[in-house]
Amino acid sequence: MRTRARASAPGKIILLGEHFVVHGEPAIVLAIDKRAVVTAQLRDDRRIWVWSETLKASGYFVNDRFHTQKGEESTEERFEPVYAVAKSVLGISGRDCGVDVEINSSIPISAGLGSSAAVAVASAAALNELLGAGLSKDGVFQLAFDAEKIVHGTPSGIDPAISTYGGVLLYRSGKNVKPLNIQVDLPLVIGDTMQERPTGKMVAHVNGLRRRYPLVISNMMRAGGKIALHSIEALQTGDLEILGELMNMNHALLCAVGVSNERLEKLVRAAREAGALGAKLTGAGGGGCMIALAFPEKLDDVADAIRRAGGEAFTTRKTAEGVRIEE
């Protein structure tokens, strides 16, 4: 019988289509080379302990109540999805025990890079391996998706999908995930505003706009969907200039629905002026990160410009591998 298991899952960037994907439009998303790692171990009691070196926080759940050992008031909220996953896997496995869940991650937190989803996916995979629950990858995805709803309200499911399956995906809520065979390297810089973005608040804002102006916002969302679909040919042929233009169009639509802010705009403008082919926010907006596409010889210039504009910057690459068992 196993007493310990470890799994990891990648973070992500949404290349095109965030927010509109919540309302049924397609989005293009890719896994990146930063991962969350979760180690799960059996306990003799029924407590579900969770701790994270990344967050410098720890605590345990028992009878649906959380007891903080270390961390801030937000610790319970951050750990609730992991608890939901653990309860589900324990229920499926029929095991009468507790578990320790240790989280480590190289994915920036609350930055729009899928940190919470990667943790949920890696938790589901590690606990599934530990407890012998027999979940498929699709089952791991579904548990992580359900857990994400605790934090984000009505998420599209795009984050747990890319963390589970990896690669580059065409994602449409409620439909099968379609992997895209993209061979071209995508030279990308991620710029972090260092301002946490409230995903639930941003999603609710766009929902409110759609209720107030249904025809206008629905047409904008359809335009966003067409941009995402149009990008597939550019990705498959490696036409980075067209892809950059489409990214800029997508960003303009996201600005129009009010999910950009001053810090994001400053980084986007700096990246474009430094030679980026395209630059846009990625994720929920309201803070978090932006991405810039550039020819390889321009990556350092774009990253430096983002830093001078007040953001943190790092280059990244896509990864084909989704969730995996480490031990």
Catalytic residues: 159
Handedness of CA 45, 51, 57, 63 (dihedral sign): negative
Strands 57-62 and 65-70: antiparallel
Query: What is the maximum alpha-carbon separation in the chain?
Result: 59
Using alpha carbons, select from 126, 267, 271 the residue that is nearest to residue 193.
267
Cα–Cα distance, 7 to 325 (Å, whole number): 4
Determine contact, residues 25/200, Cβ cutoff 8 Å. Answer: no
Q: In whole angstroms, what is the distance from residue 190 CA to residue 186 CA?
A: 12
147-160 CB burial, b ≥16 within 10 A, e <16: bbebbbeebbbbbb
Q: How far apart are CA 91 and CA 111, in angstroms?
A: 32
* Strand ranges in the chain using DSSP code E only, listed in sequence order: 4-16, 27-43, 48-52, 57-62, 65-70, 98-105, 168-171, 178-180, 188-192, 278-282, 289-293, 312-316, 324-325
Alpha-helical runs (H) found in 72-198? 75-93, 115-131, 137-152, 158-165
Using DSSP, state whether 74 is helix, strand or coil: coil
Give the residue carrying structure tokens 């990008």: 231
